[in-house]
Every structure is written in structure tokens, then in C-alpha cells.
Structure 1
Amino acid sequence: MPLPLETPGPAAHALDRIFHTARSGQRAALAVYYPVGFPDFEQSLHTLQALAQYADVVEVGLPFSDPMMDGPTIAQATRQALTSGFRLAHLFTAIREIRASSRAAVLVMTYWQPVAHRGATRFAAELAEAGAAGAIIPDLPLEEAGPWLTAARHHGLHTVPVVAPNASDERLARICTTAGGMIYAPAVAGVTGHTGPLASGLPAFVARLRALTGLPISVGIGVSSAAQAHQAAQYADGIIVGSALIRHIQNAPGPRGTRAALALARDLAHGVHRLPAAA
């Protein structure tokens, strides 16, 4: 049975408005992912704030030592963040700074262990106080999500699920009843960082999800170019890009890499516009 929904907080409402505004403007919303603390906290804060000038949604990654769904690009970045001295307080500082300097909504991408270690109630309260709209916890199965869902709803946060194309409609429907803000649909199978074509079945998967929920459907994990963003924007409500941005900074540490990442973010922001509807 779905848990009773409590009133979303102001930051969660901001995420809802972003999708409404994007839809009205004949485009998909652009979400960018970047791990706080990479390559160090100060540079990550600068990069996150700069990316927020192009993005509708900023997914702030919480570095974790065992990032099971992440490919080599993000795994290397999060390891470097941990080596450079990342602390959980940096996450909340980054959220506050992004919210203070931009109109972007902030979601936190994290694995379950750091949340469990902090305590679901405390973590949710700190996210809400910092101004986050919600969290994405890809390794938290529905059957074990009750304590987090209760805490998140109590503090007005959205919980964004990452859903698998091979899941049954029954299971997807159950997941969607617990979701808020948006549904995260992988653009390809496997871990992050894919640079090939989008999955041929992605449009059909998005259509399946639309039949099960009225929430916006965002696609990520495998979108790496403005052309792919434009392709997916024709049927999805949001486009999520992470590894492709991070790769620029790994290839050219310092200002040059940051400029290249921001140039890609600018191109992505143009790419998410939709083709005019046929007369």
C-alpha cells in the first residue's frame, strides 16, 4: 500500500515547477550530475555553481567508496573526491550554495550506506534544511525503502527511483506509487559512462512508464552528447548527463577542462528543445 503523501517542501515544489515550465517551453528539462569534492571541494563547488547556470536540475553526487552502478569515469572522480578530503558537511554546503546562486533545483544522488550511517531521519532533515528537492538512491530496493520514504515525506522531499526496463509492469507501478519529482529511466543497460547509441527500446520504455504514472520521465545513464539529448527530448521530460561532463575535467584538469564541460552543458541546454509538432 502506498504511504500517505505529505506536503512537498518549497524545494520539491520548485522541481515540479521546473518540469511544468520546460514542458510549456517545448523542451525537456536538463539535469546535470557532478560529484561534490571532485577534484577537490573548492573546484567542485565552482563547477557545480557554473553548471547550474545552464541546467534546470543539478544532481549533486555524494562520493562513496563502492559505487556499484557507476562506470570508470564517475568511479574515478568519486575516489579522487574521497582522497581529497570529502566530508558530508561539504554536501550540504554545496546544496546551499547552488540554491543561493541559481534557479536550479537540487537532487542528491547517493548510495544507501551513507544515508543509513547518518540515519534516514537525520539525513532527510539536513537535505531539506539545505534546500534539496529530494534524493536518488539507486541501490535502495522498494522492499527496504520504508524508513527512508517515511523520513523523506515527513521533510517534504521527493524520492526519485531508478527503474529497470526488465521490471514487470506490476513492479514498476508499485515503484511509481512511492516516487516523487520524476522517474529516472536508464537510456542504456549497465553502468554510467556509456558513449554509444541510446537503447533502441528507450522510447517504448518511456511510453510504458507514462501508462503507469503521471510523473515526469527523465532519461540518463548513456546520454553523452547534445545530439543524443535532442533525440531523447522528443519523448522524455528530462535529460540527465554526468559522465560526459566529468570526462572533460579528467582529461584537462583546471580551467581548460571546466570550460570544456561548461561548453558541453551549454550545447546540451540547446539540444533539449523539441521539434515543432507536425501540423
Structure 2
Amino acid sequence: MSLKIVVCIKQVPVSNNLKINPVTKNLVRSGEAGMMNPYDKNAIETALRLKDKWGGEIILISMGPPDFEMTLRQGLAMGCDDAVLLSSRQFGGADTLATGYVLSQAIKELKDVDLVLFGRQSVDADTSQVGPIVSEFLDCPQITFVSELHSHSNQSMTATRLLENMQQKIEFQLPAVVTVRSEMNEPRYPTPRNIQQSYKKDIRIWDEISLSVDPDRIGLKGSPTVVRSVWAPEKEAKATKVLKGTADEAVRELLIQLRATNLL
């Protein structure tokens, strides 16, 4: 038997000059340059290696505005088979709970999914919450912070969890939700052929009607998290000193300055 794998990916901002919605206190993502969350590439690579071993298909899912399609195409160019973009104004402003709910409903809609993969966290929010939330909605095991994954069959796997002060080995049965660390693997680069093929694949666009979700559990309405205030850290200019003279003179002066400030 083959594996049906879903990889949930996220587009994160490239720039630090982000705008905050003054009412919702959420990031304004539309129109901002983005890239695939780096940890999600490790999740895709994990899925591709499992497919190489057991066969099957890999479906990407992302939730966000229409321009998130570019990130899905990056995943398709790495070798994934299909992609779904969950995009609707009704999904906007979702916290991790509402996001996890919508993702889980989409996974249920795909039917008979064996394995759901996430990166360990996103680099913009750093919550590590969405994967575990999805596993709860799907009522299946969750294995987080995985640095090694060994498949004994297409229904049984062993994972090594790399935690702060220990390693933990877990054997589990599918279906399951797994979040992977960057130590898991080195993501492959898309080949020119796969990049070309990725633009020939259709990306399905699903909204709240496609999923028949509960309107009270999506977007801002379904988000119990309340952000009271958001502010940008103040930028502080540091005093600089140009070291003149020859290289040897500059090095001697640098050592004097470092010793004077107790850095050496």
C-alpha cells in the first residue's frame, strides 16, 4: 500500500517592515513579499523521502490570501503532487485555534490521509501550536519536534523527538500528525524540470463553502486569542569609531578598546 501524505505549509514575511492592522492587531499579509516557512521545507523533504520508499501522493495545504499560491508552487517544484489553498476573507484574522480548525476540516475533506506533516514552528509567530491543534481536531496521535523518522511499514513508524534536555523515541501507528525539526534533513532544491511542471499543475482554491465549516469557528469570530497591543521595538543607533592607520595599528587599537570595555 502507498501513503497519502498532507504537508501543511505557511508563507511568512520576508521583510521586517511589516504593517499591523490597528483594529485586529494582526499582521497585514496581503501584498507583502513572502517566502515558504523554512521549517516547512524540512516537512516537504520528509514527505518526498517517504514517497520514494512507499509510493503514494503528497498534497500541500496552505491558508492565506491568493498570493500564497506562489509558496505552494515552490512546494510543487520540490516534487509534491497536488496543492490546496484555503483562501477566503472569512478566514482572515484567525489565531492558531481557528487556523487549526480550518486545516483539519480541509484534511478531512481530502479523505483517507495517512500522515500529516508540519514544520516544527513558523518563523513569524513561533507558537508551535497549529500542528498539535490539528491532531486534536483529527483525533489522531501527535509527535512533535521530530529529528528522525523511520518507517517500518506504510502503517508503522518510529520517531526520535529532540527535546531541550533529552531525546525520546516513539513508535506509532498511522494516521498521525508529525512536526519536524530542521535537523531532520537537508531540503532538496527544485530541478528546472520540476519548476516547469509545477506551473502546469492546478492549485485548488477552497473557501468556507467548500469545506462546510462552522462560521462561528473560523476567522476572527472563531479566535479566542485577544491581542491587547502591538508595538515595534525602538531602533537605537550605536556609536561607532573608525580605526585608522595600518592593519596592525587598527588591530592594536581594537584590542585596547575591547580591554577598556572588559570584553577581553
Normalized against structure 2, the TM-score is what? 0.29
Larger radius of gyration: 2
Higher helix residue share: 1
Determine which structure has the larger strand proportion and give its number. 2
